[in-house]
Structure 1
Amino acid sequence: MKLPQLHVGVGMQCGAATFFPVWVDARATKGLVTGTEAKLGVNELSTPEVSRLTVTNQGTKAALLTEGQLLEGGQQHRMAARTTLIGAGETANIKVVCVEQGRWNGSPAHLNTGRRAPFHVQAGLHMNGSDHQDAVWQRVQRYEGIRTNSATGSLVKHLDLPRPQGFLLPNLLDGQRGLIIGIEGQVLSLELFGSRKLFRRHFAAVMDALVLDLLLFRNPAGRGATRPVRAQAARDFVGAIASNGLGLRNQSGHRGNAGSISVRRIENGHSSLPVSGLSIWGTEGTQPQIAHLSAWNAKHAVFT
Structure 2
Amino acid sequence: MQIVEKTFAQVSTGSGVTINNLAVTPLVAPNVVERDYLTLDEALARGDARVTETSEAGDVPELRFENRGEQPVLLLDGEELVGAKQNRVLNLTILAPAKSTITIPVSCVEAGRWSHSSPEFSTKGRAFYAAGRARKADQVTASLRTRGTRRSRQGEVWEDIAAKSSRMNSYSDTAAMECLYEDYQDQVDEYLKAVEVVEGQVGAVFAINGQIRGVELFDFSTTFRKLMPKLMRSYALDAIDEQGRVANGKTPEVAHFLAAVAAADGSVHPAVGEGEDIRISGPRLAGGALGARDRVVHLCAFHLPEAGSHGYSRGSDLARSSRRMRHYRGRGGNGSGSMR
What TM-score results when the alignment is normalised by the length of structure 1?
A: 0.84
CA contact (8 A) 1:35 1:114 kept: no
- Residue 152 (1) aligns with residue 174 (2): yes
Q: 1:202 to 1:229 in 2, by over 3 A?
A: farther
How many angstroms apart in 1 are the aligned matches of 2:271 and 2:53? Answer: 26
The residue type paired with residue 43 of structure 2 is A
Q: Which residue number in structure 2 is paired with residue 138 of structure 1? A: 159
The SS at the match of 2:77 is coil
The partner residue of 1:76 within 59, 66, 86 is 86
Shift of 1:190: 0.3
Q: Which residue number in structure 1 is paired with residue 43 of structure 2? A: 38
Superposed CA RMSD in Å reads 2.5
How many angstroms apart in 2 are the aligned matches of 1:80 and 1:203? Answer: 16
Structure 2: 5+ residue runs without aligned partners? 144-151, 314-340
CA contact (8 A) 1:103 1:152 kept: yes
- Residue 217 (1) aligns with residue 242 (2): yes
Q: Which residue number in structure 2 is paired with residue 17 of structure 1? A: 22
Q: Which residue number in structure 2 is paired with residue 190 of structure 1? A: 215
Q: 1:166 to 1:62 in 2, by over 3 A?
A: closer
CA-to-aligned-CA distance 1:126-159 (integer Å, 9 cap, x gap) = 3456562122111211232525310110011222
After TM superposition, list the pairs within 5 Å mapping 1:42-53 onto structure 2: 42-46=51-55, 47-53=57-63
CA-to-aligned-CA distance 1:11-39 (integer Å, 9 cap, x gap) = 22211111100013675573111141123
CA contact (8 A) 1:57 1:86 kept: yes
- Residue 243 (1) aligns with residue 263 (2): yes
Q: 1:27 to 1:136 in 2, by over 3 A?
A: farther
Shift of 1:2: 2.8
The SS at the match of 1:135 is helix
Q: Which residue number in structure 1 is paired with residue 112 of structure 2? A: 102
Q: Which residue number in structure 1 is paired with residue 332 of structure 2? A: none
More strand as a share of residues: 1
What TM-score results when the alignment is normalised by the length of structure 2?
A: 0.76
More helix as a share of residues: 2
Matched length: 285
Q: 1:29 to 1:244 in 2, by over 3 A?
A: farther
Instruction: State the percentage of identical aligned residues.
Output: 24
The SS at the match of 1:116 is coil
- Residue 113 (1) aligns with residue 138 (2): no
The partner residue of 2:70 within 60, 67, 70 is 60
The SS at the match of 2:3 is coil
Q: Which residue number in structure 1 is paired with residue 96 of structure 2? A: 86
Deviates more, 1:172-181 or 1:81-90: 81-90
The SS at the match of 1:143 is helix
CA-to-aligned-CA distance 1:181-204 (integer Å, 9 cap, x gap) = 001111110000110111111111
Q: Which residue number in structure 2 is paired with residue 298 of structure 1? A: 304
Q: 1:109 to 1:229 in 2, by over 3 A?
A: farther
Deviates more, 1:55-64 or 1:142-151: 142-151
How many angstroms apart in 2 are the aligned matches of 1:12 and 1:229? Answer: 15
Structure 1: 5+ residue runs without aligned partners? 254-261, 282-287
How many angstroms apart in 2 are the aligned matches of 1:25 and 1:135? Answer: 40
How many angstroms apart in 2 are the aligned matches of 1:171 and 1:86? Answer: 29
Deviates more, 1:96-105 or 1:272-281: 272-281
The residue type paired with residue 290 of structure 2 is L
